[in-house]
């Protein structure tokens, strides 16, 4: 007569022999189904969702940006001030900015909101210019 422990072990082995392959087959089947069927569907759904979001929201974004630009353009006025001084130097021309800056002013009050200094220091090299006169005839005429 076997004891209770042996009995349980025997039943367990038998159940394991029968049940484990079935559970493994079930798991494999679910895994294959998820990979082959649900995965692509989830991917397709995500793609469609992104497309819908872009299609539906792009108009809103465009309108928002347009309105923002229009409002900024109406609100602010850019103004360029200053002088450029041209000075002849040896072999070239120096251009130097004096107080050149870009002011961003309020349209309504004219108050300066922001100012950007623009430094200008440009040198333009100018080669010597040669003028050749070749048999240039000067004829005089009497004023009658």
Does residue number 88 form part of the binding site for other proteins (CB under 8 A)? yes
99: left (phi over 0), alpha (psi -120 to 50) or beta: left
Task: Transcribe 64-112 into DSSP letters.
Answer: HHHHHHHHHHHHEEEEEEEEEEEEEETTEEEEEEEEEEEEEEETTT--E
Does residue number 82 form part of the binding site for other proteins (CB under 8 A)? yes
Of 37 and 107, nearer to other proteins (C-beta) is: 107
Among 87, 108, 109, 119, binds other proteins (CB under 8 A): 87
Site residue total, other proteins (CB under 8 A): 34
User: Shortest Cβ distance from residue 110 to other proteins (Å)?
Assistant: 15
Among 29, 83, 113, 122, binds other proteins (CB under 8 A): 83
Does residue number 115 form part of the binding site for other proteins (CB under 8 A)? no
Distances from the Cα of 15 to the Cα of 9, 10, 19, 25, 45, angstroms: 10, 9, 6, 15, 42
Does residue number 129 form part of the binding site for other proteins (CB under 8 A)? yes
Q: Pick from 81, 83, 79: which is nearest to 104 by CA? A: 79
Among 14, 48, 79, 117, binds other proteins (CB under 8 A): 79
* CB-based contact 81:104 (threshold 8 Å): no
Does residue number 78 form part of the binding site for other proteins (CB under 8 A)? yes
Residues at the interface with other proteins (CB under 8 A): 78-93, 98, 100, 126, 128-142
């Amino acid at each position: 007569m076997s004891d209770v422990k042996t009995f349980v072990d025997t039943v367990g082995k038998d159940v394991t022999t029968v049940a484990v392959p079935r559970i493994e087959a079930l798991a494999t089947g679910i895994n294959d189904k998820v990979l082959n069927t649900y995965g692509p569907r989830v991917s397709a759904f995500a793609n469609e969702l992104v497309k819908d979001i872009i299609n539906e929201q792009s108009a809103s974004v465009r309108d928002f940006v347009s309105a923002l630009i229009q409002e900024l353009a109406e609100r602010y006025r850019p103004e360029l001030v200053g002088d450029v001084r041209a000075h002849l130097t040896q072999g070239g021309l120096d251009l130097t900015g004096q107080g050149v800056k870009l002011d961003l002013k309020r349209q309504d009050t004219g108050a300066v909101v922001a100012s950007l200094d623009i430094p200008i220091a440009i040198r333009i090299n100018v080669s010597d210019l040669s003028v050749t006169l070749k048999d240039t005839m000067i004829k005089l005429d009497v004023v009658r």
